[in-house]
Amino acid sequence: MPHLRFGTDGVRGVASVDLTKEFVYCLGRALARVLGPDHLYLIARDTRESGYILEGAVCTGLHRERALSLTCGVLPTPGLALLAQEREAVGVMISASHNPWTDNGVKVFSLGGGKISDEQQSAIEDQLEQLLDEGDVRLDDMAAILNPGYAPGSADRYVAHLVDSLKGRSLAGLKVIVDCGNGAAFEVAPFALRGLGAEVTVLNADPNGRNINDGCGSTDPSGLARAVVELQADAGLALDGDADRVVMVDASGELVDGDKMLAVLAFDLDDQGLLAERGVATTVMANLGLRRAFATRGIELVETPVGDRYVKAAMDERGLVLGGEQSGHVIIGALANTGDGTLTGISVLDVMQRTGRSLADLASVVDKAPQVLLNVKVARREELLDAEAFWAAVSAVEQGLGDKGRVLVRASGTEPVVRIMVEALEPGVAAAQAEILRVALLDALGPLAD
């Protein structure tokens, strides 16, 4: 049986190959053993074909340890986090986020809707290994998988939360296009935007189990950009599979990523005197342009490792009310304890509405430095730290860039991939230097066989 490990965003793998129903059953048991069987466990999933059977498997594992579980059905990850917070429950999300339909995963929220701690995660992994090593667990008989009880009103409660976030303000008069990515927000995002009075056109809200993130949503907003221009909309939102992230598109079809949305929200909070500690938590991936924009306003950029759990930890430690990632995970501390793509989009639209400024104008405060990000599939990701020749190449590139650029290299926590990011103020330099490092990386760790 495959032995997956927790990465930066839970457990993730190929459904029915790595992430089997037996594995998820054992994970459910491990969760109950570590987090306790006396709590309510709320389960939600995105629209992947494999989600329903994995939902049943985790509920079966929890039941085996005498823990009560209820399913919220298809619901965005931040919706589950909200319900876990309100009901003092543990949340278990069945999703592989922005990955293709063939993958699936499990994210866990501790009591109250926060991400589990590193210590809890290690203990869960230990229990999971023990259960998997005890012998084959076979759930071939579908009758062995419980039909979980349902938590009624889950989606309605989340939509109400989104609408209430503007405290009675309206988005009336704004023409918005939302690309749901055939994912978990395919119903709730349009409902919330319409409930706030926006004129809404919906794209990719017809999930069939296999079209999640398929040429749409935040992983491919090109179709959204075309639609915004053709329909003369004010802005567009593109969500990923579990809707914990968003990227936006302005009226001219230009992309507005997490860095720019953070700046829009941070400057707005600062103008209102509401930016606690005058700081924003973001990751090492933040563009030089965002760093320069914050510096002009005297806003501190609190840097964290990649992963919204680290962003949230920094926010809690420093008393910050805003944090996020370039990828579009944005945490608005007064309204949520995890990244929420729909809420972030609504909040940016609210700034547009209150100020009367276009999204392009608001986002122009960030003059982004050219940045190249390569996701390089390698055969021996675990040898990255010991690849001396590769790190020598990194050092040489860094010396050449000086203070006019930077390099960041990190291994993915969930895939056999090493990510290389190069920024440079001079056009063309970032791409050239990133290619040098890609070749050096493959020489050191070998390409992943197809």
> What CATH fold (topology level) applies to the domain 11-153?
Alpha-D-Glucose-1,6-Bisphosphate; Chain A, domain 3 (3.40.120)
CATH fold group of domain 172-254: Alpha-D-Glucose-1,6-Bisphosphate; Chain A, domain 3 (3.40.120)
Contact 241, 211 (CB under 8 A): no
Q: Do domains 11-153 and 257-368 have the same CATH topology?
A: yes
Strand 68-74 with 149-150, pairing: parallel
Strands, E assignment, 133-229: 149-150, 175-179, 199-203
Catalytic residue status for 97 = yes
Domain 371-445 part of CATH 3.30.310.50? yes
**What does the domain layout of the chain look like in residue ranges?**
11-153, 172-254, 257-368, 371-445
List the one residue out of 319, 293, 348, 325 whose CA is nearest residue 410.
325
Question: What pTM, to 2 d.p., does this model score?
Answer: 0.91
Of the candidates 50, 97, 165, 412, the residue annotated as catalytic is: 97
Q: Report yes or no: 333 and 320 within 8 Å, Cβ to Cβ.
A: yes
In CATH, what is the architecture of 257-368? 3-Layer(aba) Sandwich (3.40)
Interatomic CA distance for residues 157 and 84, integer angstroms: 12
Residue found by looking up tokens 């017809």 in the block:
206
Q: What is the pLDDT along the chain (450 residues), one digit of tens a residue?
A: 446 778 767 899 999 998 999 999 999 999 999 999 999 999 999 999 999 999 999 999 999 999 999 999 999 999 999 999 999 999 999 999 999 999 999 999 998 888 888 899 999 999 999 999 886 676 655 556 777 889 999 999 999 999 999 999 999 999 999 999 999 999 999 999 999 999 999 999 999 999 999 999 999 999 999 999 999 999 999 999 999 999 999 999 999 999 999 999 999 999 999 999 999 999 998 999 999 999 999 999 999 998 888 999 999 999 999 999 999 999 999 999 999 999 999 999 999 999 999 999 999 999 999 999 999 999 999 999 999 999 999 999 999 999 889 999 999 877 889 999 999 988 899 999 999 999 999 999 999 987
Q: In sequence order, what are the residues at sequence separation of 6 or more whose Cβ sits closer than 8 angstroms to the Cβ of residue 339?
A: 77, 78, 244, 245, 308, 324, 325, 328, 329, 330, 331
Query: What are the start-end ranges of the H helices in 243-358?
Result: 258-271, 288-297, 308-318, 341-355
